[in-house]
Amino acid sequence: MKIRPLHDRVIVKRLEEDRTSPGGIVIPDTAAEKPIQGKIVAVGKGKILENGQVRPCDVKVGDKILFGKYSGTEVKVDGEELVVMREEDVMAVVESK
């Protein structure tokens, strides 16, 4: 199934992070306070401004991003867990060197 977000929403697949400390201690989700990494899998057309114009989203499909733990709404599509959120919930784009 293909899913297309509306307006300024984006669909993100969470990227698994290493939950083990350098000393070998497993860190539970409740103790992890840093932002979550994800990959954009779909982007809406953009934000509709008050004058009716559409401002395209700054992020694009394939971008690796950071977002807050409680950002967006979790959904399951074809057995895959995704997060639907507004573009404004994206904290940053992680750029490779």
Tens digit of each residue's pLDDT (9 = 90 or more) over 8-52: 999 999 997 766 656 766 666 665 567 889 999 999 999 999 999
CATH number, domain 9-94 = 2.30.33.40
| Structure tokens, 80 | 């895959």
Give the pLDDT score at 16: 78
State the pTM of this model. 0.79
Question: So where are the chain's domains?
Answer: 9-94
- Tell me which of 32 and 97 has the higher pLDDT: 97
